[in-house]
Chain A
Amino acid sequence: MTQYVHQPLFLTGDEFTIDTFSLLDPEGELYEGASEPALERDHARRLYQAMLATRILDERMLAAQRQGRLSFYMQCTGEEAAVVGATAALNDADMIMAQYREQGALMYRGFSIDEFMNQLFGNELDYGKGRQMPIHYGSRKLHYMTISSPLATQIPQATGYAYGQKLAGDGHCTLTFFGEGAASEGDFHAALNMASVHQVPVIFFCRNNGYAISTPSTEQFAADGIAPRAFGYHMHVIRVDGNDALAVFEATTQARKIAVEKNQPVLIEAMSYRLAAHSSSDDPSGYRSKEEEEIWRAKDPLLRLQKWLVKKGWWSEEEEAAQQESLRREVLDTLKRAEKRPPPPLDSLISDVYADVTPALQRQLDQLKRHIRRYPDAYPKGAKSLDLDVDTATDSQGDA
């Protein structure tokens, strides 16, 4: 019902601030008044182990990038609790549409170190066939949509995917991850509006890590973060401590309930910090202080969850040491194998553009093959999958 007032009344939104949901203190103790989420021993261990494995993979692969073995890398460091905590609250068959910094989600779902490496090196076993930069993973089996670099494009797609899930009535939802920077894109706003208008089971998960490359969140938005935007779209929203895996798990568990039981979208804003550089090409010392980083290093999400697990008797120092050691070894062994594997075959240049290779593409490839046979040394990767003795006349088209 419309309420009339007779003095001009402007609101700014400062009337509402959104509190941050947190369960574990930095010492791994439950806050007073907090209750433990329904998280069983094995589930909790799986969550933590995925966070740990993500940290180790990231450390090793950044080192490999520094040695020049890899062209590019991006770390999840500092945000493992947000990413893995959210994933652990989903059904493993729920769809995840990530931005790019969410390898923790794949780790949790069981993407093998081999699978990570094959994509990182773009070798013949890379599901993406060596077309994308490292870290643009995808897995149909694990319900993880292949990453696309243009930011925020996955957010309205998540709304559409989830609408299809609702129609299919399979009880699944979609969770899409994005940064507070990407939330500035038009696609974000379109996605939230359509999701609330059409009552779609989608979870919008914003990783507010303080920076979009060099741009601090104070230059990204003027309001109290991303969460208040949900009000404008009449959407459930919760802000959560992104360095507290338990709180993220609990918030996402409940968000999922709202999504699949009521077919309503939910926005989650996880407050965290990008501890590492934006990518291996970035140097954060140009735009932020070491002191600021240290403050957040002290809030390491791994340590917090680990302390809680140890107190419960679900994890031990010995296990920690053994796990770290075996993960490091596995990453190194797998890395050596993956980097030696051949590149994708030359024919993969023209496959998957369309469902079927068009005659024009076939002609272009045949011409390229003839060229590479003439200069095999100039194209060592392409020449690898070519039989250099083959008469060029056996190509599907004669000389162009």
Chain B
Amino acid sequence: MPTMNMLQAINNALDIAMAEDEKVICFGEDVGVFGGVFRATSHLQEKYGKARCFNTPLVEQGIIGFANGLAAQGSVPVAEIQFADYIFPAFDQIVNETAKFRYRSGDLFNVGGLTIRTPYGGGISGGLYHSQSPEAYFTHTPGLKVVVPRNPYQAKGLLLAAIRDPDPVLFLEPKRLYRAAVGDVPEEDYQLPIGEAEIVKEGSDITLVGWGAQMEVIGKAAELAEEQGISCEVIDLRSLLPWDEDTVAESVLKTGRLIVSHEAPLTGGFAGEIAATIQERCFLYLESPISRVTGLDTPFPLVLEKEYLPDHLKIFEAIRESVNF
């Protein structure tokens, strides 16, 4: 099995999807000859021509509006937004149009073919405007699917699933891991299910939940805890909308404890949604309060990025507090 980094896995998935179905079309800022600023679309224009892989003018609302129309026509657009921080000019097109196309037309029209790919997250010295994790804005939007891979294997399988999914998918790529995450990736076509969490590690004392880049940090915290004899069950949600309540609830029924961690600010973050749901479903089984380890309720800083980010030590402390509650 070849090893790939996350960018190669994404590129490989796009290549497979474009080869299989000529309706698949990739576009976005700098996506053409250059292959995107992170090179996720490298060589696709060379292989599939300018009509199917191209640079757009610099206008995110245009990119997604165009993609909506194209998807409604029956094509399968994979639109890249260069950084998740710059998705907001397209917010209206995504939350009012992409997400509501099928519902408002009584299923006369839909944009199910649409996939929006965008790099998100911090830890890359990007400061205020190259580090945000905007998933929560979108998980509040019925009609969208929101997917976040944590490694190359997932990136390929989930992206292929997203492109073929009958609903529009927002695919958030942890850019800190683009080159850092390397692993075995099957050469052939495969899909991973959207809407199903993955139990990364079984354990009995506490459940740790996260997604994307945060999984690496959670994994490290779990190792620290294991050294202290605390057994952690680690769950990667993989998709946030819809999210796999059952897997998390079953785990918490077993462990009695839950920590959710994400980089985005605490207030209104997706961890709050998970905490509320699990509290409803597992109330009598909880042995300590569900806790959230997240970014601060501030914009993303630069110099004090390390202090801001929820890291393995902060999660480890939260584990200790939970277990000693």
| Contacting residues, chain A, for B299 (C-beta < 8 A) | 131, 353
Task: Give min CB distance, B56 to chain A, whole Å.
Answer: 8
Task: Among B37, B57, B85, point to the contact of A220 (Cβ < 8 A).
Answer: B57
Given A186-B59, A213-B34, A214-B33, does the pair A348, B304 have CB atoms closer than 8 Å?
yes
Within 8 A of A (CB), among B11-70: 29-30, 32-34, 37, 54-55, 57-62
Interface assignment of A142: CB less than 8 Å from any CB of chain B: no
Task: Among B34, B55, B58, point to the contact of A182 (Cβ < 8 A).
Answer: B58
Do A375 and B303 touch across chains, with their CB atoms under 8 A apart? Answer: no
**Docked CA distance A212–B59 (Å):** 12
Closest to A180 in B: B58
- Size category of the binding interface on chain B: 35 or more
Do A287 and B34 touch across chains, with their CB atoms under 8 A apart? Answer: yes
Residue total for A at the interface (Cβ-Cβ under 8 A): 50
| Contacting residues, chain B, for A324 (C-beta < 8 A) | none
Quick check: which of B1-9, B126-134, B197-205 contacts chain A, the rest being far away?
B126-134
Given A149-B130, A215-B55, does the pair A344, B297 have CB atoms closer than 8 Å?
no
Do B129 and A148 touch across chains, with their CB atoms under 8 A apart? Answer: yes
Given A219-B55, A379-B307, does the pair A130, B302 have CB atoms closer than 8 Å?
yes
Task: Give min CB distance, B283 to chain A, whole Å.
Answer: 22
Do B34 and A286 touch across chains, with their CB atoms under 8 A apart? Answer: yes
Quick check: which of A78-86, A296-304, A360-368 contacts chain B, the rest being far away?
A360-368
Q: Is the interface of A mostly helix, strand, loop or mixed?
A: loop
Interface assignment of A374: CB less than 8 Å from any CB of chain B: yes
Task: Among A133, A221, A361, A375, point to the contact of B298 (Cβ < 8 A).
Answer: A361
Give a binary string over A240-270; 1 marks a CB under 8 Å from any B CB, 0 the rest.
0000000000000000000000000000000
Do B32 and A219 touch across chains, with their CB atoms under 8 A apart? Answer: yes
Closest to B311 in A: A378
| Contacting residues, chain A, for B32 (C-beta < 8 A) | 214-215, 219
Interface assignment of B180: CB less than 8 Å from any CB of chain A: no
| Contacting residues, chain A, for B297 (C-beta < 8 A) | 353, 358, 360-361, 364
Interface assignment of A56: CB less than 8 Å from any CB of chain B: no
| Contacting residues, chain A, for B88 (C-beta < 8 A) | 150
Closest to A361 in B: B297
| Contacting residues, chain A, for B130 (C-beta < 8 A) | 133, 149
Name which of B86, B126, B302 has the most chain A CB atoms within 10 A of its CB: B302
Interface assignment of B301: CB less than 8 Å from any CB of chain A: yes
Give a binary string over A130-154; 1 marks a CB under 8 Å from any B CB, 0 the rest.
1111001000000000001111000
Name which of B34, B62, B308, B314 has the most chain A CB atoms within 10 A of its CB: B34
Within 8 A of B (CB), among A346-392: 346, 348-350, 353, 358, 360-361, 364-365, 368, 371-372, 374-375, 378-379, 381-382
Q: Is the interface of B mostly helix, strand, loop or mixed?
A: loop
Do B307 and A381 touch across chains, with their CB atoms under 8 A apart? Answer: yes
Do B313 and A378 touch across chains, with their CB atoms under 8 A apart? Answer: yes
| Contacting residues, chain B, for A91 (C-beta < 8 A) | none
**Docked CA distance A318–B318 (Å):** 66
**Docked CA distance A214–B32 (Å):** 9
Task: Among A149, A185, A348, A371, point to the contact of B85 (Cβ < 8 A).
Answer: A149
Interface assignment of B230: CB less than 8 Å from any CB of chain A: no
Closest to B37 in A: A213
Given A150-B88, A371-B313, does the pair A185, B58 have CB atoms closer than 8 Å?
yes
Task: Among B29, B61, B306, point to the contact of A215 (Cβ < 8 A).
Answer: B29
| Contacting residues, chain B, for A358 (C-beta < 8 A) | 297
Do B302 and A122 touch across chains, with their CB atoms under 8 A apart? Answer: yes
Task: Among B33, B62, B89, B307, point to the contact of A150 (Cβ < 8 A).
Answer: B89
Task: Among B58, B128, B304, point to the contact of A151 (Cβ < 8 A).
Answer: B58
Give a binary string over B263-289; 1 marks a CB under 8 Å from any A CB, 0 the rest.
000110000000000000000000000
Task: Give min CB distance, B260 to chain A, whole Å.
Answer: 16
Do B307 and A346 touch across chains, with their CB atoms under 8 A apart? Answer: yes
Task: Give min CB distance, B322 to chain A, whole Å.
Answer: 12
20 additional contacts, CB 8 Å, given A185-B89, A213-B34, A215-B34?
A130-B301, A131-B127, A133-B127, A184-B59, A185-B61, A186-B59, A187-B89, A287-B33, A344-B304, A346-B307, A348-B304, A349-B296, A349-B298, A360-B267, A364-B296, A364-B297, A372-B307, A379-B307, A381-B303, A382-B307
